[in-house]
Amino acid sequence: MSDDIWRRERVISPCVKICVLHPDSQLCIGCLRSGEEIANWSQMSSEARAEIMAVLPERKPLLQSRRKGGRKGRHQ
């Protein structure tokens, strides 16, 4: 009997259990997926998951907020 029966080609979730949507980008600050992507992940094909995984690194800059004031903003 071959171990190939137990081998799976599924793309693992990028979830790191920090599930908070960034207020501006609406991306999860933990895994960088959108709420829709998170909700649909379990029904997606491996190909669709791989496509999302490929673009996640490009989304990191979208989590940067613009400074809206505070101490540093007042003392310029």
- Would residue 67 count as lying in a domain? no
Confidence of residue 1 (pLDDT cuts 50, 70, 90): low
- Reported as a single tens digit per residue, the pLDDT across 16-71 is 999 999 999 999 999 999 999 999 999 999 999 999 999 999 999 998 865 565 56
The neighbouring-strand residues paired with 34 are 27
Count how many domains the chain has.
Answer: 1
Domain that holds residue 52: 3-60
- Would residue 71 count as lying in a domain? no
Dist CA 68 CA 65 (whole Å): 9
- Would residue 23 count as lying in a domain? yes
- Would residue 69 count as lying in a domain? no
Which among 59, 15, 12 is positioned nearest to 38, based on CA atoms?
15
Beta-carbon contacts of residue 53 (< 8 Å; ≥ 6 apart): 11, 14
- Would residue 76 count as lying in a domain? no
- Would residue 14 count as lying in a domain? yes
Confidence of residue 11 (pLDDT cuts 50, 70, 90): confident
Dist CA 53 CA 21 (whole Å): 18
